[in-house]
Amino acid sequence: MKIIVCGAGQLGKSIVSYLAKGNNDIIVVDDNQYDLDEISKEYDILPIQGKPSHPDVLERAGAKDCDMILAVTDMDEVNMIVCQLAYTLFNIPKKIASVNSKTFVDPLWGMLYNDNHLPIDLLISPDIDIADNILKILRYPGCSGILPVLDEKYYIMTLNIKEGCPLLNVPLMQLNQYEDIDISVVNIIRNNNSFLPDMYETLQLGDEINILVEASEVYSTISAFGLEKPANERLVMFGGDEISEYIGDKIENDDSIISCRLIEEDIDKARRLARKLNHVVVINGEMMSDVILKEADVAHADAAIALTDNDKDNILAALLASKSGVGTTIAVINTPSYNNLMFNIADNILVYRSAITISKILKEIRKAKIKEAYSVARELGEIWEIKLEAENMCCDRKIGELSLAKTCRVFAVLRNNDLIYADPTFRLECGDILLVYVDSTAVKQAEQIFC
């Protein structure tokens, strides 16, 4: 697939890091030569220097025979213009734009985005999506990730197995009987390697696991693993960007939040947020300063969220908060290379910007007929939600007959509103909705099976 990515900033770079894993020809357009040079050092892309909103630049990038264009610059208006040019001048089949302004994503103006007005096939709002993800984690203290699937009737939860967990060394086939919980273990990450466990595998200290659980059983499942924490009622945020503004706006009328303080070093950003957020205390100052941390009352916070554009600052801020006794610390990470730090920075939760953004566009770049798709396990794998249509070759076949790679698995089937933890002998039927774990190394093979 030939894909043009307009924007070589952090968002564009995170998207390219994922697209580069597949069989794609990637062209990156940006007027900042430094950003292009940086992204070219890491990935096999064709850099084109110039303004993405100029027709001649897009033509030079090969827009005439492009399969997809992603407009992910820092300017919403530029991204919209790029999609208009892609449609009017180059007839690019798939046009995706990043738009974070709350005005542009307001459902009131939803009629704008069609071929007669603004021809954008898929609108993504990375900052809003990241904020929503963080709010979900805050809502369920004890888990380090939560992903709604199957129309939000079920969740994929990420849990870190810690000392004192009552399910340590218990075989997976006994989990449901041991604590009276109904779950399916999707995968385990151990020593930074992801694998699909068999029924005899046991949970080990330090494991990170993804499990499927019914939405109504989230709290009881967290408790069964011994991971329950107090409610997150007092918040501290580091960094005053769009993500923190969205979180602050969402908690304005949330009675479960007692207080929220935000530390921002830039005086102009701090003033802007102070004007917009009525119930968030905005503090202007150095976020690593003991004086500022004391003013923000970090020591008595239930949760701290680091949201700056700098990964190192986010990790350090989360670490400082953790050492101050904060129970839940969250750091937004832009660079996948920080994966190896997952268990080296206390109990900090790392929220991967690229994984959340990619999840929004994943089904558009996969060749399989996917209902929904999500990047999981620190971008080591994907979860596909697939509805079997009559023409699908998987219908009336046993799961074990699908020739899936050993690193992939159909771990659940929804049939007539009943969820089934299927084994290889289970025969699939037309209308079934499958949940499939696909390892990042086996995407092409899985695409052929579910095409």
pLDDT at 102 over 80: no
pLDDT at 238 over 50: yes
Residues carrying CATH 3.30.70.1450, the chain: 143-224, 388-449
**3-state DSSP helix/strand/coil % of the chain, to nearest 5:** 35, 25, 40
- How big is the CA angle at 71 (ends 70 and 75), to the nearest 5 degrees? 160
d(CA 217, CA 181): 8
416 pLDDT band, cuts 50/70/90, is very high
448 pLDDT band, cuts 50/70/90, is confident
Q: What is the mean pLDDT of residues 183-197?
A: 91
Residue that has been written with the tokens 């503090």 in this structure: 283
In CATH terms, the fold of domain 2-124 is Rossmann fold (3.40.50)
Q: What secondary structure does DSSP assign to 190-249, as a single string?
A: ETTEEE---TT-BB-TT-EEEEEEEGGGHHHHHHHTT-------EEEEE--SHHHHHHHH
d(CA 63, CA 1): 13
Enter the tokens of residue 278.
Answer: 């009525």
Residues carrying CATH 3.40.50.720, the chain: 2-124, 234-355
- List, in order, residues 6 or more apart from 82 with CB less than 8 Å away: 6, 52, 53, 58, 69, 71, 73, 97
Instruction: Please tell me the predicted confidence (pLDDT) of residue 200.
Output: 92
Q: What is the mean pLDDT of residues 223-249?
A: 93
d(CA 99, CA 83): 12
d(CA 334, CA 354): 7
**Stated pTM of the model:** 0.88
Q: What is the mean pLDDT of residues 129-147?
A: 93
Beta bridge partners of 419: 414
Instruction: Please tell me the predicted confidence (pLDDT) of residue 328.
Output: 93
191: left (phi over 0), alpha (psi -120 to 50) or beta: left
Q: What is the mean pLDDT of residues 192-209?
A: 91
Read off φ and ψ for residue 421, nearest 5 degrees. -85, 90
d(CA 116, CA 385): 31
Q: What is the mean pLDDT of residues 272-291?
A: 93
Instruction: Please tell me the predicted confidence (pLDDT) of residue 340.
Output: 52
Q: What is the mean pLDDT of residues 314-323?
A: 91
Q: What is the mean pLDDT of residues 357-383?
A: 86
State the CATH class of domain 234-355: alpha beta
Burial of 391 (0-12, 13-18, 19+ CB in 10 A): exposed
Burial of 164 (0-12, 13-18, 19+ CB in 10 A): exposed
pLDDT at 301 over 80: yes
State the CATH class of domain 388-449: alpha beta
Instruction: Please tell me the predicted confidence (pLDDT) of residue 425.
Output: 95
Describe the strand order of the beta sheet including 208-214 as a list of residue ranges.
Answer: 145-149, 154-160, 208-214, 183-190, 193-195
d(CA 326, CA 235): 10
pLDDT at 242 over 70: yes
Instruction: Give the tens place of pLDDT for each residue, 9-39.
Output: 988 988 888 788 777 899 999 999 999 999 9
Q: What is the mean pLDDT of residues 119-134?
A: 92
* Mean pLDDT, rounded, of the chain: 90
The CATH number that domain 143-224 falls under is 3.30.70.1450
d(CA 124, CA 263): 27
Instruction: Please tell me the predicted confidence (pLDDT) of residue 299.
Output: 94
Instruction: Please tell me the predicted confidence (pLDDT) of residue 309.
Output: 86
Instruction: Please tell me the predicted confidence (pLDDT) of residue 180.
Output: 75
CA quadruple 75, 365, 349, 316: dihedral, nearest 10: -50
Q: Which of 343, 348, 288 is nearest to 319 (CA)?
A: 348
447 pLDDT band, cuts 50/70/90, is confident
Instruction: Give the tens place of pLDDT for each residue, 322-364.
Output: 999 999 999 998 766 655 554 445 578 988 888 888 888 888 8
- CA distances from residue 53 to 8, 56, 68, 74, 85 in whole angstroms, order as listed: 14, 9, 16, 13, 8
- The more confidently predicted of residues 377 and 155 is 155
d(CA 390, CA 431): 8
d(CA 352, CA 186): 19
Instruction: Please tell me the predicted confidence (pLDDT) of residue 339.
Output: 53
Least confident stretch, 32-36, 82-86, 171-175, 245-249: 171-175
Spell out where 295-389 has E strands: 303-306, 328-333, 349-352, 372-376, 381-387
**Cα 428 from chain centroid?**
29
- Identity of the residue numbered 234: R
Instruction: Please tell me the predicted confidence (pLDDT) of residue 308.
Output: 92
Instruction: Please tell me the predicted confidence (pLDDT) of residue 343.
Output: 46
Instruction: Please tell me the predicted confidence (pLDDT) of residue 342.
Output: 47
